[in-house]
Amino acid sequence: MKATIDFDEALYRRLKVEAARRGRTVRELVAEGVRYILDAPESVSARASAGTQQEWKPGWFGALAKYGNTVEDHSMEAVRASVARGRARERKT
């Protein structure tokens, strides 16, 4: 079945980049995301509907969480700026 989904332009660009990075199609990633939400345990679904589920974060947050937590739009420019700010603070201490 086909469906039309309207994405914010920036979000769709991120989705295309991630699909290319993984060697997959946008369609495959969207279907995987929908399956993930629908197959999630009840506790995850309940938190999502209550609005308490943590926001999704990209994989690089694990290694750079201290810098990534201040990034709002996940663009490379924002990430680089956050890392630069964090490193500048570290040099001061």
Q: Are residues 26 and 46 in the same domain?
A: yes
Q: Are residues 19 and 35 in the same domain?
A: yes
| Confidence grade of residue 24 (pLDDT, cut at 50, 70, 90) | very high
| Confidence grade of residue 16 (pLDDT, cut at 50, 70, 90) | very high
Q: Are residues 41 and 72 in the same domain?
A: no
Q: Are residues 23 and 47 in the same domain?
A: yes
Q: Are residues 44 and 10 in the same domain?
A: yes
Q: Are residues 8 and 47 in the same domain?
A: yes
Q: Are residues 1 and 38 in the same domain?
A: yes
Q: How many CB atoms lie within 10 A of CB 70?
A: 13
Number of domains the chain is built from: 2
Tokens of 66: 């201290």
Segment 25-79, tens digit of pLDDT: 999 999 998 888 888 776 555 555 555 556 666 665 566 666 666 666 767 787 7
Can you give the residue range of the structural domain that contains 61? 57-93
The confidence score (pLDDT) of residue 48 equals 55
The confidence score (pLDDT) of residue 59 equals 60
What is the distance, to the nearest Å, from the Cα of residue 81 to the centroid of all Cα atoms in its chain?
A: 18
Q: Are residues 39 and 61 in the same domain?
A: no
The confidence score (pLDDT) of residue 76 equals 74
CA distance linking residue 47 with residue 43, whole number of Å? 6
